A = this chain, B = another copy of it.
Amino acid sequence: MPDDNPKTELLDELENGPWPSFVKEVKLAAQTSASAQDLLRQLELSYQEKKGHWKHGGLVGVLGYGGGVIGRYSDAGEQFPNVAHFHTIRVNQPAGWFYTSDALRTICDIWERHGSGLTNMHGSTGDLILLGTRTAELEPTFQELAQAGFDLGGSGSSFRTPSCCVGMARCEWACYDAMKLCYDLTMAYQDEMHRPPFPYKFKLKCAACPNDCVAAIARADLSIIGTWKDEIQVDESAVKTYVSSGLNIQKDVCDLCPTKCMAWDGHKLSIENHECVRCMHCINVMPQALRPGKERGAVIMIGGKAPIMQGALLSSVLIPFVAADELLDTVKELLRRIWDFWDEYGNNRERIGELIQRVGLPAFLDGIGLEPVPEMISAPRDNPYIFYQARKDGEK
């Protein structure tokens, strides 16, 4: 181990203050890792110069896989030879980010042998990220991980590592088993995850209720958002308990219901369930009194993404309701059709949401064989530019 301690005046400042410090973490790693030391040094330089020092992404990986590793080289490799290569390995996290202490230690041990000793718990997509190693270490790291039961996640134009909320494991509102669905889909598409087959990345996230604790709607090409079809389950006496312990049910619940479909007459809460849009607010406020209905499943939404390149998209409704026990089959069939269409018509680096924008939702629905339903839209078109389908002359 090199023993000259990096000089990091600017970074040292970030060890002050109450929030846990990432600088402290890098320094900890630097006790046993030369690359963590050089990382500190290079980062200090970036702080001085207000400029990053990484070169444009590399293309490295493990045999038989087309993704799972983000190649990275320093543009100051001579100055900081231990981060001249500093590739990141994306490890597919266990669904719900549950671990045992042993599992964590196993990962630590492998990473101590092969990399910088730094991790992200977790990456924004959901992967467990092993931050920084050399090309030669990739294959050994990968195989040791595999022996320990871990595999790589996605990168590039692949099916990206799906993620899910904690769902049934520890949440009373889960309308379907998000962790199981996430796991099953991950297993079903190992090939698509590891050998990028698509025009661009494809992300999938499972949130077991409309609170969407995994931000699926904003970030996933396919979002599976739990919901229910029947009536909110009400425990009258618990409602009264909330009220008597100070909840202003009119103001804090009824008035904030987006469709105003709840009424409180001072004694009884009534809900016009067919007006309820399943927003969760009332349930969130009174978890002990209200619960999602019993006929549970999910709404399937499509097309969420960040701004590049035609602007960010929020996901939009594709199937308004799929019963919980039909989710796996339905999603698989749906993915097959969506990917076929995308494969056929998608441009290079065009996310599915952008493709739908480009060809129009009606054409996309035709392509994947879904009937249009009004739940897919917030309102019908307001422009009269209708592509009436071709009629032959004389025909009606």
Binding site for B on A (CB under 8 A): 307, 311-312, 382-385
Contacts and interface: CB of A to CB of B under 8 A. Distances in A.
7 contacts: A307-B383, A307-B384, A307-B385, A311-B383, A311-B385, A312-B382, A312-B383
The 5 closest A-B pairs by CB, nearest first: A311-B383, A307-B383, A307-B384, A312-B383, A312-B382
Query: Could you tell me the dominant secondary structure of chain A's interface residues?
Result: loop
A384 B312 CA distance: 9
A307 B384 CA distance: 8
A384 B384 CA distance: 31
A311 B386 CA distance: 12
Nearest to A310: B383
A385 B312 CA distance: 11
Contacts of A385: 307, 311
A44 B311 CA distance: 53
A61 to B, nearest CB: 31
A382 to B, nearest CB: 7
A96 B288 CA distance: 62
Contacts of A384: 307
Nearest to A309: B385
Contacts of A382: 312
Contacts of A312: 382-383
A396 to B, nearest CB: 13
A383 B306 CA distance: 10
Contacts of A383: 307, 311-312
A135 to B, nearest CB: 34
A382 B307 CA distance: 9
A183 to B, nearest CB: 34
A311 B382 CA distance: 9
A142 to B, nearest CB: 36
Nearest to A255: B260
A306 to B, nearest CB: 10
A150 B312 CA distance: 55
A383 B382 CA distance: 24
A353 B106 CA distance: 63
A312 B385 CA distance: 11
A385 B308 CA distance: 10
A354 to B, nearest CB: 14
Contacts of A307: 383-385
Contacts of A311: 383, 385
A219 to B, nearest CB: 15
A384 B383 CA distance: 27
A265 to B, nearest CB: 15
Nearest to A384: B307
A275 B307 CA distance: 33
A45 B67 CA distance: 71
A43 to B, nearest CB: 24
A307 B383 CA distance: 7
A151 to B, nearest CB: 34
A260 to B, nearest CB: 9
A271 to B, nearest CB: 18
Nearest to A382: B312
A149 B312 CA distance: 58
Nearest to A311: B383
A393 to B, nearest CB: 14
A310 to B, nearest CB: 9
A312 B312 CA distance: 24
A257 to B, nearest CB: 13
